Structure 1
Amino acid sequence: MALPDPVPRPIDHVLRGAPDAPALLDRAGGWSFADLERAVASVAGWLVRQGLAPGDRVATWLPKTRLACVMPLAAPRAGLVHVPVNPLLRRAQVAHILADSGAALLVTQPARAATFEDGDVPASCRVVDETQIGFDAEGPGPSTADPQALAAILYTSGSTGRAKGVMLSHANLWLGAVSVAHYLHLAATDRVLAVLPLSFDYGQNQLFSTWFAGGLVAPLDYLTARDVVRAVERCEATTLAGVPPLWVQLLEADWPAATAARLKRLTNSGGALTPRLVRGLRERFATAEIVAMYGLTEAFRSTFLDPAAIDANPDAIGRAIPFADVMTVRADGERAAPGEPGELVHAGPLVAQGYWRDAERTAARFRQAPAFAAHGGLAVWSGDTVVEDEDGLFRFVGRDDEMIKVAGNRISPGEIEEAVLKGDEAREAVAIGVPDDRNGQAIVVVLAGDATGEERLRSRLKTALPSFMQPARYLWRDALPRNANGKLDRARLRAELLDGVTS
């Protein structure tokens, strides 16, 4: 596929497949591109009739239903902003997103809505059962919106505090779809098994990039690796995107040789592939290309590694994706020399518009691009340390913030600590990520308090936090160490844990 001119369009223009070509496949059957276009128009028409103001936020808290797949295109077509909520989140996290985004509408399912407590849903937000929205009514045609207009807010965790909303324009989403379809060489014959949450930029892009290429998406909510194996066979999938913990599970599953041979493309983000994982994937999926990628929600994605280079460079995160201007910057603002560590900075049209209603955090992360950048304007300063080799490949060195990443999910230590301290079991708490073979990292919480409250704490957090945010271990102490400024000495605790010292 030749790289198109980087002229952005409204995101719903990604429906480029032939009208009678298959576009979506689930257990209820299949939709052609004509069916999908009709559904997008119908849902957009329903939204228009709700009397919402242009730019109002529409949140969805859904598994991968057909409506969940349609709403990312229908809401922007209606002149609204889509706010997808991770279906794994619990009511407290959803309540924060609804309040922070100022959502005027939440589309969900009765069982989910029933978990809300008084005060969780703002008075200005109406809750709608997804079954009230049909796919066969009249609605507007393709959008004529300004490509720079806000189209979506995706919530992502930061190192402190609650999740923050990343503002994405039509242009951000459109050019991300074009870029990925290009460097993955997606085609109309491809069938993409979408197992990642559609609330993630990585998961949502599976819809956009596949439909831009004219291919088929098969959304799947899975419980076990065996579910994925069966879906690959049932959907005749050619492409599967995942995160390292998923690959670990899939390599432990029983794969019929013919089913494994169906996959011709495996893509990875949300954590680095280890040489061991690469070898395992090579052995199990001998005919598939393995595409390693690095990204951050604030700029969608920054780099990808050519599949032909992964065996010789298993620690590399690759080169800039199309439309991305990626560079390594020293602390003094100058370009780092080859082999010299520096901060990864991403400029260009994939850079988001900042954090929703959060000028302080926007100013900290979105700053002027370096003078030597090919693209001026705002750039995302990632906080990640990388080196660029003489051959132009970037390699990840480390993360400057304290984020924890479990099974590909970015988790704020502050959010874990806040949930822990809402009860009376502990006086203080520090959440730390430690290496874990299966999930990348595991959460360890060091607490000041009486260990007799641990059972009560575990029980409380099971209802307060989603499964991927559950601590794996609790370490109880009489008091937690403090630094010279009197603050909790997180660095010392982290070093002790990583060195295996827990006393």
Structure 2
Amino acid sequence: MSAAPTPADPAVHGGVAHDDRRRGPSYPVAPGNVAAMFRSAAAAHPDREAVVGDGVRLTYAGFAARTGAVARWLAASGVRPGDRVVVLARRCPELCELAVGLILAGGVYVPVDADYPAERIRFICADADPAAVVLVGGAAAPEGIAVPVLDAADPAVLARLDADAAGPVAEGDFGADPAGGDPVYLIYTSGTTGRPKGVVNGHRAVAAHLQTMARAMDSGEVRALQKAPVGFDVGVGEILIPLATGGTVVAPPADWRTDDLETFLRMVLEHRVTVLSLVPSLLRVIFDVLDGLGMPATVFAGIRELILGGEAVPADLVARAREEIGCRVWGLYGPSEAAMDVTWIEFGEGVELREGEHLIGYPEDNVVCYVLDEDDAEVPDGEPGQLHLAGEQLALGYFRRPELTAEAFVASPNPEWDGGRMYRTGDLVRWNDRGQLQFLGRIGDQVKIRGHRVELGEVEAVLRALDGVRAAAAAVRGDAARRLVGYVVADDSAGEDAALLAAMAERVPGYMVPAELVRLPELPLGANGKLDRARLP
């Protein structure tokens, strides 16, 4: 198996490349805990900006002192190393202080979006069994929380933090540093039964990813906008990656909403954002807004790294970003059951991006990817199979759900170099003819139409490849007479429905051609920016 290209030369960065596309380059994970990375970044860059925002500018020296004060306040409030703490928050500078201070104190960060429904907040606050719930950014706890609730904006708390002169957290202040297998954050993801499930990620796994990103984003200092929802791992990464590697978090005010594009544009420009993570559909909206204002995309010339994920990356968006912004464009993929992203691809020279194809690329550093059939045997090139992940970045498992953990995290085929365990993602992929991983959809998205098995992801990919179609989704409607329905967001260059369906019939078997098309101004997206199938009309 031929080796995949790498974002950073292993020979330069002390890694080892492998002549096996299933394996990302191997690197030592040092240090193996996130708290040590925070301390190291602050010591190395005391005068560099750590967190900036409207009216906020904290250098690493100031940020280290502030997070030290937060860590000591949490400890005085009863939080001990290894304790889980729910941080009920909105995006804001204070969230950065709380997340880092908690981890420096040896605690486990449990981020929860303050705008979640009250019932979901109560469930997580009970299920996570936290030592405390901390309110940040104007968050309010719903009734029925059975553990201590601490308000970081309480005047007495702010006075205590301001008066703390003990300085940064030093090694040993809260006992020994966490071991690599100790948890660093617990994040809740939707469960198939409707009950959220907590995923525990450990220090070594997260440190491995943070160090991978530091090597990959080697075009300069990272200045990342805190944009993703608080309760998703992308939102965790937008805080941890910069602050563990000497970069800068650009934090919005607590009342900012992502549909406020005017404030978004101002933050990106005023605070000189260099790394921006978006779902492709939002990038398209941003381009449309710029066009409507008569502003060229060159206003974003300060962005060096544009990270796209969560859905297929259209070729026209990549071309426009590279030509007009002049940045590198990345596609990243990763489930919550691993430390953030686990595969990558840079859409640069020599990378062919075919219309409608959802590429997720190659294994990241210290990551192993297997494409297996129902019997856990590797499938031939070009054939679909379930993606299984192994290597350093695997999560520890599901919180207090051993049966679910045992079902999803299983023995791996090459324990001598893949870590001995792997995670069944439930995602359908294949190795394409260029040695890249291509995402085909969720295994649960496989349906039967007139006796034929149909992957909705493949139908959507073909729809997206049609002229004039900017985004697409597919679903099955009807009970007795089941029919395939296509949903498209199309521009003026797209033909009539009959022409689009005829073009599709030239590419796929008849049973994969939708019985009808529904045109939408935009696809319904969930809070994580991904397609919300339940809201398709």
- Measured against the shorter chain, the TM-score band is 0.7 to 0.9
Determine the structure 2 residue equivalent to 1:493: none
The Cα of 1:395 is off from its aligned counterpart by 0.5
Residue 313 (str. 1) matches residue 353 (str. 2): yes
Distance 1:470 1:381 in 2: 21
Determine which of 188, 207, 218 is the counterpart of 1:174: 207
Q: TM-score, normalised by structure 1?
A: 0.76
Distance 1:225 1:110 in 2: 20
Judged with a 3 Å threshold, the aligned counterparts in structure 2 of structure 1 residues 206 and 112 are, in CA distance, closer, same or farther, namely: closer
Contact kept in structure 1, 2:90 and 2:136, CA below 8 Å: no
Residue 235 (str. 1) matches residue 258 (str. 2): no
Residue 345 (str. 1) matches residue 427 (str. 2): no
Contact kept in structure 2, 1:433 and 1:442, CA below 8 Å: no
Matched to 1:89, the amino acid is: Y
Distance 2:302 2:125 in 1: 41
Distance 1:339 1:317 in 2: 15
Determine the structure 1 residue equivalent to 2:169: 140
Distance 1:341 1:469 in 2: 22
Judged with a 3 Å threshold, the aligned counterparts in structure 2 of structure 1 residues 136 and 402 are, in CA distance, closer, same or farther, namely: farther
State the identity %. 24
Determine which of 94, 104, 125 is the counterpart of 1:77: 104
Distance 2:521 2:209 in 1: 27
The Cα of 1:8 is off from its aligned counterpart by 4.2
**How do residues 85-484 of structure 1 correspond to structure 2 at under 5 angstroms?**
85-108=112-135, 112-113=139-140, 116-117=142-143, 119=144, 121-122=145-146, 124-131=147-154, 132-133=157-158, 134=161, 137=164, 138=166, 140-142=169-171, 144-185=177-218, 187-188=220-221, 190-220=222-252, 221=256, 222-254=258-290, 255-256=295-296, 258-282=298-322, 284-285=324-325, 287-299=326-338, 300-308=340-348, 312-314=352-354, 315=357, 316-371=359-414, 374-401=417-444, 435=487, 437=489, 441-442=523-524
Matched to 2:64, the amino acid is: E
Contact kept in structure 2, 1:251 and 1:280, CA below 8 Å: no
The Cα of 1:202 is off from its aligned counterpart by 1.7
Matched to 2:308, the amino acid is: N
State the Cα deviation string for residues 18-72 of structure 1 (Å, max 9, x = none). Answer: 1111111111221111111112211111111112343221111111222211222
Distance 1:433 1:156 in 2: 28
Determine the structure 2 residue equivalent to 1:55: 82
Distance 2:99 2:521 in 1: 29
Determine the structure 2 residue equivalent to 1:14: 37
Matched to 1:207, the amino acid is: I
Judged with a 3 Å threshold, the aligned counterparts in structure 2 of structure 1 residues 195 and 473 are, in CA distance, closer, same or farther, namely: closer
The Cα of 1:370 is off from its aligned counterpart by 2.6
The Cα of 1:130 is off from its aligned counterpart by 3.4
Judged with a 3 Å threshold, the aligned counterparts in structure 2 of structure 1 residues 167 and 75 are, in CA distance, closer, same or farther, namely: same
Contact kept in structure 2, 1:62 and 1:109, CA below 8 Å: yes
Distance 1:433 1:113 in 2: 42
Moved more, 296-305 or 87-96: 87-96
The Cα of 1:439 is off from its aligned counterpart by 9.8
**1:88 match: secondary structure:** coil
Matched to 1:209, the amino acid is: I
Distance 2:350 2:271 in 1: 28
Distance 2:331 2:531 in 1: 28
State the Cα deviation string for residues 387-409 of structure 1 (Å, max 9, x = none). Answer: 1135321111111136999xxxx
Matched to 1:10, the amino acid is: N
Distance 2:335 2:398 in 1: 13
Distance 2:80 2:71 in 1: 13
Distance 1:185 1:228 in 2: 25
The Cα of 1:319 is off from its aligned counterpart by 0.4
Determine the structure 2 residue equivalent to 1:23: 50
Judged with a 3 Å threshold, the aligned counterparts in structure 2 of structure 1 residues 387 and 93 are, in CA distance, closer, same or farther, namely: same
Matched to 1:226, the amino acid is: E
Matched to 1:295, the amino acid is: G
Judged with a 3 Å threshold, the aligned counterparts in structure 2 of structure 1 residues 435 and 136 are, in CA distance, closer, same or farther, namely: farther
Contact kept in structure 2, 1:75 and 1:81, CA below 8 Å: yes
Distance 1:93 1:77 in 2: 28
Residue 66 (str. 1) matches residue 99 (str. 2): no
Judged with a 3 Å threshold, the aligned counterparts in structure 2 of structure 1 residues 12 and 88 are, in CA distance, closer, same or farther, namely: same
Determine the structure 2 residue equivalent to 1:447: none
Residues paired across the two proteins, number: 423
Contact kept in structure 1, 2:201 and 2:396, CA below 8 Å: yes
The Cα of 1:234 is off from its aligned counterpart by 0.5
Distance 2:332 2:382 in 1: 20
Distance 2:162 2:370 in 1: 45
The Cα of 1:155 is off from its aligned counterpart by 1.0
**2:398 match: secondary structure:** coil
Determine which of 70, 81, 85 is the counterpart of 1:43: 70
Judged with a 3 Å threshold, the aligned counterparts in structure 2 of structure 1 residues 174 and 434 are, in CA distance, closer, same or farther, namely: farther
Distance 1:196 1:41 in 2: 26
**2:265 match: secondary structure:** helix
Contact kept in structure 2, 1:229 and 1:259, CA below 8 Å: no
Contact kept in structure 2, 1:60 and 1:107, CA below 8 Å: yes
RMSD between aligned residues: 3.2
Determine which of 61, 74, 85 is the counterpart of 1:34: 61
Contact kept in structure 1, 2:210 and 2:244, CA below 8 Å: yes
Matched to 2:205, the amino acid is: N
The Cα of 1:145 is off from its aligned counterpart by 2.0
Distance 2:259 2:391 in 1: 38
**Structure 2, unaligned stretches of length 5 or more?**
1-7, 15-26, 447-455, 458-483, 490-519
